[in-house]
Amino acid sequence: MRLNFKMTVTMLTFSLLVTGVILVSFFFLRNNVQGVSIASTLGEDVYFMGTDSAVQSKTKVETAEPGKNQILNVSMLEKAYQDELFKYLPAMVLVICSAVLLLTFLLWLVLRKIYTNQILAITHDLNFIDQLPKNSVKDEALSEAFNKLKDKFDGHLEDYRRLNSYLTHEQKNAIAILRANLEIERQQANQGNLALLDRLTDSIDDILTLSNNTEDLGNEFVDVSLVCAEVCDAYKKNYPDLLFEFCEEETTLIKGRDRWIYRAVSNLVDNAIKYGDGKLVTVKITNKNGSVIIQVKDRGIGIPQEKQPAIFSHRYRVHGLKQDGYGIGLSVVSHVCDLCRGFVYLESEEKLGSTFYLSFPSAG
């Protein structure tokens, strides 16, 4: 609004100045026309023919010599007026054009100054975007764009802080435990060390997945059934009550990357086993209405209803950062769905279990 107001005032002032120059010019022209002396233009001894054919002297009638007198008709008189009028016209046109050009140049300088000041103000706001509140920009269009940019900036900043927190909590703890085991228990801790290394590798893959965006999608295709089968085979070695269902006749091809789908399904299966109370966990793949749907179902403790809306948030962890919980795993799942143009949906009841649905556009 502030920029529009300045521009409006400037244009209005310019219009008034140009109008004033034109009015003054015509006023000056009118005064010159009214002050024209035709007699001085044609000579001192001039006579005009009247209707009664009498000769009337214009100037110096009594002293005029007959040999020097002139008698004018109407056409000669009109020509004399026109000549006197147009004598000043070129100069006045030049003055008017010069004044308009000067005012236009001044207008350009003023608009350029306003534009430069606005750019400097926007640059200042962008440099201190983290310190400025929303709706601090007065212009409506700029305010909307600024608010969207600030939301994205705040989101990226929060993601950065979240990743730092996750790295501090997960990686450092895993490395510290691994180092302690290697120094103290040595041979007895080999299997546990391998598990910690696997956990560390998985968390690094999660971070790599979170760092991707939709521009990384490319033209790669993923067979969801093959990836889910690989995940189930890896977990079934330690958790036999894991059932994998799919139809060989259905196409389960989507656009994406193997690592993305693997980390999403792996996180869901890991949570289902962790909170499944040792009961059956089912992974099912279907193709319905042009979408490939991955269903991961457990029959465990479930998720409280009041916590479900925030379960996929980057900032949220069900049981807190220092305890076991869904945490960053579900944010990875949600991010993978965004990367592959899909979505995730949850159905859960306490003490009855949870079912997660991942839906992706079919590429088959």
Quick one: pLDDT at residue 42? 52
Q: Where are the domains of the chain?
A: 2-127, 133-211, 217-361
Q: How far, in Å, CA of 324 to CA of 339, rounded?
A: 27
Quick one: pLDDT at residue 261? 93
Flag residues of the chain having pLDDT under 70: 1-8, 29-74, 76-78, 80-82, 84-86, 88-89, 125-126, 128-142, 161-173, 175-176, 179, 181-197, 199-200, 203, 205, 207-218, 314-328
Tokens of 16: 């008034």
In the sheet that holds 281-288, the strands lie side by side as 242-245, 281-288, 291-297, 353-361, 343-349
pTM for the full model? 0.53
Sign of the Cα pseudo-torsion (132, 135, 136, 140, in order): positive
Pick 217-361's CATH classification: 2.60.60.20, 3.40.50.360, 3.30.230.10, 3.30.565.10: 3.30.565.10
Tokens of 90: 């070129």
